[in-house]
């Protein structure tokens, strides 16, 4: 399987700990897919700064192809995060260079070489959505919790996978949202709800998957680990969607036990990270 992460990137800064991690939905999904054995690449735009260099180097060290990435004059995107009882909260952000990603004809042709293209609402690609759809064999799109009715009507009919976050505790509301996306035309629909687990509409049924209980260090990137596992394990002939969803829940739980989206920490502003600040990473 060949998977491309498209668009979304950021630098996750934990100011209270003095440390930052490369990340972003499309970046994290590409890395997690590569760790599961897929061939993975990332196409996005970063700045010609330390953040951008570290992000690209981290991806390359994970075996993710970054040869098509754009380097612009804008700063690399960043977000400032606090962690309370293991759950992440966003304090401030600057979308920076990723807002300026523009795909030319050669970029769009590049998409055709992948089995799955994954992007998100944070990629600022809505103006190029139709072009991306035409060139992607399978298109996965994460709407996070920023979707509304008009957005779903715009994108869901054209997606092979639509992923949404929902804060509501009501199982019925989550189930109805999956059905709504399928009725709009999405081939598969995923609703993630953190500790309440996920619901996945695929292969003519709705799979209700409880979360795997853990004491989280950091929930950042857990949903991306879920998505990557689901995309990889449902690819190919005769996949087992129930087993894939269960494995995805396990991947999400494991991601909660380490800081950052996929490791590779770096001190903020050259200051050494505090002891015990969650510097665990995987090489």
Report H helices in the chain. 25-35, 50-61, 105-111, 129-135, 149-155, 171-184, 222-233, 241-255
How far is residue 92's CA from residue 74's CA, in Å, rounded to a whole number? 18
What predicted TM-score, i.e. pTM, was given to this entire model?
0.92
The CB density around residue 112, as the number of other CB atoms within 10 Å, is 11
In a domain, 277, yes or no: no
How high is the pLDDT of residue 283?
A: 25
pLDDT tens-digit profile of 94-110? Answer: 999 999 999 999 999 99
In a domain, 275, yes or no: no
Sheet of 116-120, strand order = 70-72, 39-47, 2-7, 116-120, 139-142, 161-165, 188-192, 198-202, 205-209
In a domain, 276, yes or no: no
In a domain, 206, yes or no: yes
In a domain, 279, yes or no: no
How far is residue 138's CA from residue 51's CA, in Å, rounded to a whole number? 30
How high is the pLDDT of residue 71?
A: 97
DSSP state of 213: P
How high is the pLDDT of residue 234?
A: 96
Q: What tokens appear for 28 in the block?
A: 């994290």
In a domain, 179, yes or no: yes
- CATH of residue 167's domain is 3.40.1190.20
Domain that holds residue 191: 2-269
How high is the pLDDT of residue 269?
A: 66
In a domain, 159, yes or no: yes
How high is the pLDDT of residue 86?
A: 59
Q: Which residues of the chain have pLDDT under 50?
A: 270-283
In a domain, 281, yes or no: no
How high is the pLDDT of residue 138?
A: 98
Work out how many domains the chain is built from and give that number.
1
């Amino acid at each position: 399987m060949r998977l491309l992460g498209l668009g979304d990137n950021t630098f996750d800064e934990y100011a209270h700990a003095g440390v930052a991690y490369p990340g972003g939905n499309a970046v994290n999904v590409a890395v997690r897919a590569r760790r599961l054995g897929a061939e993975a690449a990332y196409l996005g735009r970063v700045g010609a700064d330390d953040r951008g260099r570290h992000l690209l180097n981290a991806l390359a060290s994970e075996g993710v192809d970054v040869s098509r990435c754009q380097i612009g004059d804008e700063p690399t995107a960043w977000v400032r995060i606090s962690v309370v009882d293991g759950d992440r909260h966003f304090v401030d952000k600057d979308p920076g260079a990723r807002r300026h990603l523009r795909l030319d004809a050669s970029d769009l042709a590049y998409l055709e070489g992948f089995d799955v293209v994954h992007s998100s609402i944070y990629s600022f690609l809505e103006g190029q959505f139709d072009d991306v759809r035409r060139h992607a064999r399978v298109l996965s799109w994460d709407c996070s919790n920023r979707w509304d009715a008009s957005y779903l009507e715009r994108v869901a009919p054209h997606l092979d996978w639509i992923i949404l976050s929902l804060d509501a505790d009501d199982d019925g509301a989550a189930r109805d949202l999956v059905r709504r996306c399928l009725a709009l035309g999405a081939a598969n629909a995923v609703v993630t709800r953190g500790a309440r687990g996920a619901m996945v509409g695929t292969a003519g049924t709705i799979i209700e998957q409880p979360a795997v209980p853990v004491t989280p260090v950091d929930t950042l990137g857990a949903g991306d680990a879920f998505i990557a596992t689901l995309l990889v394990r449902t690819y190919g002939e005769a996949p087992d969607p129930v087993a894939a969803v269960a494995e995805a829940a396990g991947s999400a739980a494991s991601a909660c036990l380490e800081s950052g989206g996929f490791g590779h920490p770096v001190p903020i502003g050259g200051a050494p990270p505090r002891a015990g600040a969650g510097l665990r990473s995987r090489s």
